[in-house]
Copies of this chain bind each other. A is one copy, B any other.
């Protein structure tokens, strides 16, 4: 059986723009208590939604304690799921945190998140990827612009745009401490990236992106159309963003760490196939199958 590739990328020497072939909001005419009409429309238009203070400070304190516990565990932190900063070797990300912690596992099933996402995707969901992104103060590194879907499609075999990233802020996300930046409206087209993927690319890409990043001309065009939104919000906020929304973050020299819990809920109907880039699938802790 030949599976059609609706979103080819890293196959050509020049960048291309491909119109989105999938809905953004799958269940738009259904009634729901999970989101307001304004929130649904805003997610559809911008490709993301920021909801302040969904979780209490007490809950967030517990998630932070759990992070310290995991990061300080010498046996756990030597595992491949624990990614270090390029220079300082501080823990930058913990992948599959929900497999090491019941507390994080419960969060991936929390109805305050899941009901919203399952409404938008109009399907049952499962965790495609989960991690904690702990950008430390003073030395936190930037994360360059990308569409998550581009990587998940090419390197993991996610067929369609029917997944939503969920981000829960564990510290203040200020304009100045390397907060998430999003390009509104960028989810409506697919920027096909230049170049081929090396084998075992994930080993480097989790620390520093080099392949599967949009070309500068496309980024300038997207920026000129809709600008950039910096997702400033207090601890305990929820940011939902479409799998194809272009995003990135600057480094952080401030004393304030910027730590977020991040997980991706993918529609059951959108389960992974073989990677469209032709490489072998990435390990399970990066793309659960």
Chain B residues near A144 (CB-CB < 8 A): 253
Interface string of A247-258 (1 = CB under 8 A from B): 011111111100
Q: Are B216 and A138 in contact (CB under 8 A)?
A: yes
| Known A175-B176, A181-B176: A255·B138 in contact at CB below 8 Å | no
Indicate which residue in B142, B230, B252, B254 contacts A253 across the interface (CB closer than 8 Å). B142
Q: Are A250 and B181 in contact (CB under 8 A)?
A: no
> Which chain A residues (196-234) contact chain B, with CB distance < 8 Å?
216, 219-220, 223, 228, 230
A67 contacts the other chain (CB 8 A): no
Known: A176-B250, A181-B253, A250-B253. 17 other contacts (CB 8 A): A137-B216, A138-B216, A138-B219, A142-B251, A142-B253, A144-B253, A145-B253, A175-B176, A175-B230, A176-B181, A176-B230, A216-B255, A223-B255, A250-B250, A250-B251, A250-B252, A250-B254
Residue of B nearest to A145 (CB): B253
Chain B residues near A223 (CB-CB < 8 A): 254-256
Number of identical monomers bound together in the oligomeric complex? 2
Complex: A254 Cα to B143 Cα, angstroms: 11
Complex: A178 Cα to B137 Cα, angstroms: 16
Q: Are B176 and A255 in contact (CB under 8 A)?
A: no
Give the interface size bracket for A toward B. Answer: 20 to 34
Chain A interface residues (CB < 8 Å from chain B): 137-138, 142, 144-145, 174-176, 178, 181, 216, 219-220, 223, 228, 230, 248-256
Chain B residues near A216 (CB-CB < 8 A): 137-138, 255
Chain B residues near A174 (CB-CB < 8 A): 228
Complex: A174 Cα to B230 Cα, angstroms: 10
Q: Are A254 and B181 in contact (CB under 8 A)?
A: yes
Chain B residues near A249 (CB-CB < 8 A): 253
Complex: A220 Cα to B254 Cα, angstroms: 9
Chain B residues near A181 (CB-CB < 8 A): 176, 253-254
| Known A138-B216, A181-B176, A216-B138: A251·B251 in contact at CB below 8 Å | yes
Complex: A19 Cα to B231 Cα, angstroms: 38
Chain B residues near A228 (CB-CB < 8 A): 174, 176, 254
Chain B residues near A178 (CB-CB < 8 A): 250
Complex: A249 Cα to B220 Cα, angstroms: 22
| Known A181-B176, A216-B138: A248·B253 in contact at CB below 8 Å | yes
Complex: A144 Cα to B248 Cα, angstroms: 21
